[in-house]
Amino acid sequence: MNNTGKSITSHSIKLCMGTVRIIITAALFLNCHIGFGQNEFTPVGDYVTINGMKMYYEVSGEGEPLIVLHGAYMNIPSMGSIIPKLAETHKVYAVEFQGHGRTTDIDRPITYQNLADDVAAFMNAVGVEKADVFGYSMGSAAGLQLAIRHQGKVNRLVAASVAYDFEGWQPAFKEFVPQMTVDMILSMGFEEEYRKLAANPEGFRALVEKLIALEKEPMAWGEDVKKIKIPILVIAGDADVATLEHTVSLFRLLGGGIMGDMGESLPASRLAIMPATSHTAVITQPDMLHSFIEPFLRGETPKGMFEETEY
């Protein structure tokens, strides 16, 4: 496990506890504050059995397929109104991961690699050969692993609030990870909300155990990321859980960071930073998210002053 090994003062622990409380509160209760909105794209829910679990998913909209992947402790409703916005131009398949929402848990760790394999198996089960993918937080890391492990299944990937290496997390979060315990999370009182959708209402402790273990897993995917050939849109808040330096390094690994207007084609991958935005605030700004995502999925590029200049 990679961690700093630094001691944490009681003040630091209190601050980090507050951060985790905010993150999990937002994840479990976003659906109380962010409705799907009023539009004609009413989602249709169903189940498919893959890798020993009964996975719940919803389909909405028409067009090219787009897979939507939620964050840890979240579900489809807590992704908010970005889903119906995307459904205006795409056929959206929103899934609920192992042990989350209405999807059953199984006797297997939750890892980003396992989640990616689940998405690939889901696509096979519903007859989607290849699709665009939008992931947030844990879902974006799963999307990154999907692009690493099953690159032929992904057209374009939108990864919001993602890291590819443990060292890329903010120092306060890296220091806090070794302190995380199941009882700490259970004491925050979120189990009641979890029970409302859970396939197993008694399964919250098991889910928390697996998600804490996920945070403590080694994570160093730089060499794998450099081999990805598909276009990736990296989105982050300027006060996100990954540092800005790490987010930029991810963009550079994907071929980004060149100077435009010099006769060289822009890279296929893109970077978007959302101002005054924390980790949990990324998903609460669907209009801004959509303004980044839709042009990227369409392959639209803003025209520069020297677009037609011969060099």
DSSP H or E stretch at residue 182: helix 182-186
pLDDT (tens digit per residue) in 55-86:
999 999 999 999 999 999 999 999 999 999 99
Q: What is the rounded CA–CA span in Å between residue 39 and residue 37?
A: 6
**Three-class DSSP category at 293:** helix
The percentage of residues in the chain with a pLDDT greater than 90, rounded to a whole number, is: 77
Count other Cβ atoms within 10 Å, centred on residue 311. Answer: 6
Residue with tokens 């787009």: 66
Tokens of 125: 């089960």
pLDDT band with cut points at 50, 70 and 90 for residue 41: low
Contacts of 183 (CB under 8 A, 6+ apart): none
pLDDT > 80? residue 21: no
Tokens of 71: 């964050």
First to last CA, the chain: 50
pLDDT of 23 reads 52
pLDDT of 190 reads 83
Backbone angles phi, psi at 150, to 5 degrees: -140, 55
Q: Quote the mean pLDDT of the chain.
A: 88
CA 31 to chain centre: 17
pLDDT band with cut points at 50, 70 and 90 for residue 109: very high
pLDDT (tens digit per residue) in 240-273:
999 999 999 999 999 999 888 777 788 999 999 9
Q: Do 262 and 216 touch, CB atoms closer than 8 A?
A: no
What b-and-e string marks burial along 137-175, b requiring 16 or more CB atoms within 10 Å of the CB? Answer: bbbbbbbbbbbbebeebbebbbbbbbbbbbbbbbeebbb
Residue type, 40: E
Residue type, 239: A
pLDDT > 80? residue 277: yes
pLDDT of 3 reads 35
This prediction has a pTM of 0.88
Q: Provide mean pLDDT across the span 88-114.
A: 98
Of 16-25, 101-110, 179-188, the range with the lowest mean pLDDT is: 16-25
Residue among 98, 101, 119, 96 nearest 109 (CA): 98
pLDDT of 232 reads 98
